[in-house]
Chains A and B, each alone.
Chain A
Amino acid sequence: MAYKCVVLIKQVPDTKRVTGDVMNDDGTVKRSALPAIFNPEDLNALETALEIKDRFGGHITVITMGLPGAAAILRESLYRGADDAILVTDRRCAASDTLATSYILSCAVKKLDYDIVLCGRQAIDGDTAQVGPQLAEKLGITQITYVEQLIELSSKTITAQRNIGNGWQQVKAELPVLLTVVGDANEPRVAAARKMMKYKKASTPIEVSEQIKAENPKADEAEIAELLELRAKALEEKGLLIKQWDLDSLEADLAWCGMSGSPTKVHRIQSVVLAAKESKDIHPTPDGIADMIHELIEEKTIA
């Protein structure tokens, strides 16, 4: 039996590369100074979906909510074997916390037909690991978090192994389910050259209209709109149009989106400054070490 998978992916700043010059003086992060990457564990979620498709057949849709530039990770997913890609983008999504994010994503997923929804365990910028479970609740489906291995899929049930910290747990559930996948689950495949050739030109309507504007600097709104419709249609026929949804097309309740839909607010952000403490330089000599050990014994740090 073939399975329909939906994979939620996020474009994130590469927080592993944060250095001093990436921080603003007020403690906020200059996001633009960091390369934007495919959230690592979302690649594991996509790989799990691809393995399901390889074995059982089926269809994979990837969805991301983000700025127009997030189309880059949608293309990367197509290069790896996803069938369909959707960009949810809308200024009114800005400042969404995890509750609002999961609400908006749930509106998008509900428009699709699915058996298995896959998320990464955690995004490396917000670092909350909350969106997966919240999305499962909003969809009203069973969640299996921390999945490290898919054991079995048979008609309408799934068996998976969860990483429970100091061990594992195997659980079985009826479809549909939402899985959050950990980094140890698999080795994500690299992009396939043939697919890269095919999908290199896959674009969102925003990208197409940017292109039209660059090529026809003098064109007015109406002309651009007309050209856009033509080109989008041509791309769609070739399966190269990345769908682009805004909150209106999702029929989302704006009260639950963006700033107003987010109960958590940031009171303050500080960059981590390494505390300078009272400290002593110890000479790496027998005397220096002996003095230090003596002091530690005197103050009863060492028994």
Chain B
Amino acid sequence: MIDVNRKGEVWVFAEQHGGKIEDTPLELMSKARRLADTLGVKLAAAVLGDRIKPLAKKLVRHGADKVYLAEHPLLGQYQTNSYAKVMYDLIHKHEPQIVLYGATIAGRDLAPRIASATKAGLTADCTDLQIGDHTTAKDKKVHKNLLFQIRPAFGGNIVATIINLDRWPQMATVREGVMPMPDADTSRKGKIIEEMVELTREYLPLDIIDEHKRPKKVDLKAARIIVAGGAGVGSRDNFQLVWDLANCLGGAPAATRAAVDLGFIDHDHQVGQTGTTVRPSLYVAVGISGAIQHQAGMAQSQKIVAVNNDPDAPIFQVAHYKILGDLNDVVPLMIKTIKEKGIQE
């Protein structure tokens, strides 16, 4: 653990695999940039790997003032222990006040190992981060400019704001897709600091035998329009309605967990707490009740259209356009109307 260090920088762990930076840490850069500006400190990215110099420039363009570049042949492939050791050393050398990680598979494997070794706090799976003050109940002491780490817990039923008063750095993992990706700004300048890395094979306890990554069947995060179907659609065959509406809107088809579990569509299309978090311009929810875990993944959409035959469906509470009716009538009508408009224009 490090002491409270108000001059410390804000850091983002820039997870990369095979020379490509993951989306989640890049998304994090815009939020981290704002935190650093509020605190009046520098934003730095820490990137670990083997022969990854080109990534440093990319991180600068996405908002970093500084990039700590840790290169070593033994960092070529991610392993918990080697990455944890290098991050631990960097944190103790530079004493950042905030360290953020994407809540990816690797981020959630790595960050707790670092937190345990550092004996610092770690908040899991945040959906928002802010700077704020906290008054301790006992002594009424005001702790200024703390990192408010905002996260759902209890199966998504509550939102907790977590703080770390004095056992710094303040560390959090942040869920994918909850922050918009900043645009690259090629005019930005930043400082690239090459770090000396000391590593031995002893930090590589795993023998990685085989790995298989399949491309996602759909990129929901990139879709401007999403048409999502729920259990109410009724069958895999009838789910064609969702595909058709998505097609004529130039959007992507998505689903609730219930629809995925019923086999209507592949899990890659699932939106929500255990699926993808999306924020499209338009989200059309068809036969979806609007459970909290589903809303966690779509409530940030700019415009929401809901089609449901139950007036009390919770989805109507977040919808901008509420269509109370049978989806089997409404969706074909929507498709027809859009096609006609298309012909007119």
Contact = CB atoms under 8 A, between A and B. Distances in A.
A127 B153 contact: yes
A285 B337 CA distance: 11
B337 A289 contact: yes
B121 A97 contact: yes
A22 B124 CA distance: 24
Nearest to A172: B207
A169 interface: yes
A129 B108 contact: yes
Given A133-B109, A272-B152, A280-B320, A302 B157 contact: no
Nearest to A290: B337
A250 interface: no
B249 A302 contact: yes
Interface string B191-233: 0000000000000011111111111100000000100000000
B165 interface: yes
Contacts of B167: 263
A111 interface: no
B160 A18 contact: no
B277 to A, nearest CB: 14
A166 B148 CA distance: 31
Given A133-B109, A172-B207, A274-B318, A284 B329 contact: yes
Instruction: Provide the main secondary structure of the chain A interface.
Output: mixed
Interface string A282-303: 1111101110111011000111
A46 B78 CA distance: 28
A290 B325 CA distance: 15
B154 A15 contact: yes
Nearest to B345: A297
B292 A293 contact: no
B333 A284 contact: yes
Contact of B213 (A167, A275, A279): A167
B323 A264 contact: no
Contacts of B1: 263
Interface stretch (B39-47, B62-70, B298-306): B298-306
Max chain B Cβ within 10 angstroms of own Cβ: one of A13, A283, A286, A293: A293
B122 A127 contact: no
A277 B249 contact: no
B158 interface: yes
A148 to B, nearest CB: 12
B222 to A, nearest CB: 15
Contacts of B333: 284-286, 289
Nearest to A265: B163
Given A172-B207, A264-B123, A282-B323, A166 B214 contact: yes
A268 B153 CA distance: 12
Instruction: Provide the main secondary structure of the chain B interface.
Output: mixed
A275 B318 contact: yes
Given A18-B155, A270-B158, A274-B295, A164 B213 contact: yes
B154 A18 contact: yes
A269 B205 contact: no
A174 interface: yes
Contacts of B164: 263-265
B213 A134 contact: no
A271 B225 contact: no
Contacts of A145: 80, 105, 108-109
Contacts of B117: 137
A98 B122 contact: yes
A113 interface: no
Contacts of B323: 282-284, 288-289, 292
A194 B303 CA distance: 58
A49 to B, nearest CB: 21
Contacts of A124: 155
A282 B211 contact: no
A275 B243 CA distance: 28
B258 interface: no
A113 to B, nearest CB: 20
A16 B115 contact: no
B104 interface: yes
Given A278-B320, A282-B321, A301-B303, A272 B156 contact: yes
Interface in B79-114: 80-81, 84, 104-105, 108-113
A168 B158 contact: no
A285 B290 CA distance: 23
Given A266-B163, A270-B161, 7 more contacts: A27-B158, A98-B122, A126-B124, A144-B206, A146-B105, A263-B167, A282-B321
19 contacts: A98-B112, A99-B121, A126-B124, A128-B125, A130-B108, A133-B112, A146-B109, A159-B209, A167-B214, A262-B121, A266-B161, A270-B160, A277-B318, A280-B320, A282-B321, A294-B341, A296-B303, A297-B341, A303-B250
Interface of A: 13, 15-16, 18, 22-23, 27-29, 97-99, 102, 124-134, 136-138, 142-146, 159, 163-174, 262-272, 274-286, 288-290, 292-294, 296-297, 301-303
Per CB-CB distance, the 7 closest pairs between chain A and chain B, nearest first, are A284-B325, A263-B121, A15-B155, A128-B124, A263-B167, A167-B213, A137-B116
